[in-house]
Amino acid sequence: MPFTIVRQDITKMKVDAIVNAANTDLQMGGGVCGAIFQAAGPKRLQEACNKVAPILTGGAAITPGFDLPAKYVIHAAGPVYSHWNKEQSRALLRSAYIESMKLAEEKGCESIAFPLISSGIYGYPKDEALEVARLAIEEYLQDHDMEVYLAVFDKSSFLISKALSGDVESYIDEHYVDTRRRSRRQLLDVEEMALGQAVKPDLSASCLPATPVHGLDDLMDNLDEPFSDALLKLIDAKGKTDVEVYKKANIDRKLFSKIRTGKGYTPKKPTILALAIALELTLPETEKLLARAGYALSHASKFDVIVEYFIVSGKYDIFQLNEVLFSYDQPLLGS
């Protein structure tokens, strides 16, 4: 998967490079920095750091990984958060992520794992730090192919924005049921009558039904057609390119090629939902695409309800959706 969030000790990740949230002098510190030094071998890593130090805030330098599973350690200097100059803090933090990925690519790395830079003793609010990380990684992956991981040691270090969290929680409270006594079709009938009231008022503008594509129903209703053929027709009907779709779906190129060319291959449900998000399908269109593969959405599944919230709200950013799924301990969308 090009970008995914994992709850894991970054020092144990088997990736090409891990990122150390470093100070500009590249001296061993505490927290994640101290753990990386200890796992790599503090003496050798410090000697290597001394050769490339100092670096600028927002910059990065690379050293060998020594005793770590990762081949390289990229030392990125995030900013100390400033309440008085938030834009500068944001720009410097973004730069730390971008420069790290550039260094990784220059060394031929195909995978990289980040901590949430500046969110510890540097005081960057965790929800804002997460947003900067997501947007920087998303931006970079638009033009580059790399597996990027955001390693979160525990849930206390991972916070989505309060506004988004409140909207999702409200939608879950209204739609999530722990019984299957009511059919999915009954729930949809109610929702279609009150779609504008399904989410908070400030979301009403984004809940307007998407402009229907001419002939799209005909494309979706032929259930005997192979999934790959139906997907290709949908991509054309929505006016999108293959590259645009698999990147927006957070799917790697190899899997997309398998889906595209495999006449007998049917993706798993999270992958199909990722494609629906990338294609910006409406809720009925999404359900038809799922039905073609033998799947359905259910209000008895919190995972399904969260994905449904994003679709009916017109929020088609899969990286933001995955943040919410991760915060609720649900599977992520994509590969």
Least confident segment among 50-59, 227-236, 281-290, 317-326: 227-236
Return the H-helix or E-strand segment holding 7: strand 3-7
pLDDT tens, position by position, 175-217: 998 644 444 444 454 444 444 444 443 433 333 344 444 455 6
- Give the integer Cα–Cα distance in Å for 2 and 70: 18
What mean pLDDT do residues 103-107 have?
Answer: 97
The residue whose two tokens read 């061993």 is: 28
% of residues, the chain, pLDDT over 90: 71
Least confident segment among 91-100, 109-118, 202-211: 202-211
CA atoms within 13 A on the CB side of 325: 26
**Which has more pLDDT, 274 or 184?**
274
> Is residue 11 pLDDT above 60, yes or no?
yes
Q: Residue 274: pLDDT band by 50, 70, 90 thresholds?
A: very high
pLDDT of residue 93: 98
Q: Residue 304: pLDDT band by 50, 70, 90 thresholds?
A: very high
pLDDT of residue 73: 98
Going from the C-alpha of 304 to that of each of 140, 158, 160, the distances in angstroms are 29, 22, 19
pLDDT of residue 214: 46
What mean pLDDT do residues 216-230 have?
Answer: 69
Q: Residue 153: pLDDT band by 50, 70, 90 thresholds?
A: confident
> Is residue 261 pLDDT above 50, yes or no?
yes
Least confident segment among 126-135, 219-228, 285-294: 219-228
> Is residue 120 pLDDT above 80, yes or no?
yes
> Is residue 290 pLDDT above 70, yes or no?
yes
pLDDT of residue 160: 84
Least confident segment among 19-23, 83-87, 132-136, 226-230: 226-230
Domain residue ranges in the chain? 3-157, 162-327
Extract the tokens encoding 31. 């927290």
pLDDT of residue 266: 85
- On average, the pLDDT of the chain sits at 87
Rg, C-alpha atoms of the chain: 22
Q: Contacts for 278-281 with beta carbons within 8 Å, 24 or more apart?
A: 278/240, 278/244, 278/245, 278/246, 278/247, 278/248, 278/249, 278/316, 278/318, 279/234, 279/235, 279/238, 279/240, 279/245, 280/210, 280/238, 280/316, 281/210, 281/234, 281/311
Measured in Å, how far apart are the chain's first and last C-alpha atoms?
Answer: 5
Please provide the size of the chain in residues: 335
Strand partners, 152: 7
Which of 58-67, 185-194, 248-257, 282-291 has the largest mean confidence? 58-67
pLDDT of residue 119: 92
- CATH of region 3-157: 3.40.220.10
pLDDT of residue 334: 87
Taking phi over 0 as left and psi of -120 to 50 as alpha, with beta for the rest, 215 belongs to left
What mean pLDDT do residues 10-14 have?
Answer: 97
Extract the tokens encoding 15. 């990736």
Least confident segment among 95-99, 152-156, 166-170: 152-156
The residue type found at 44 is R
pLDDT of residue 194: 45
**Which has more pLDDT, 201 or 252?**
252
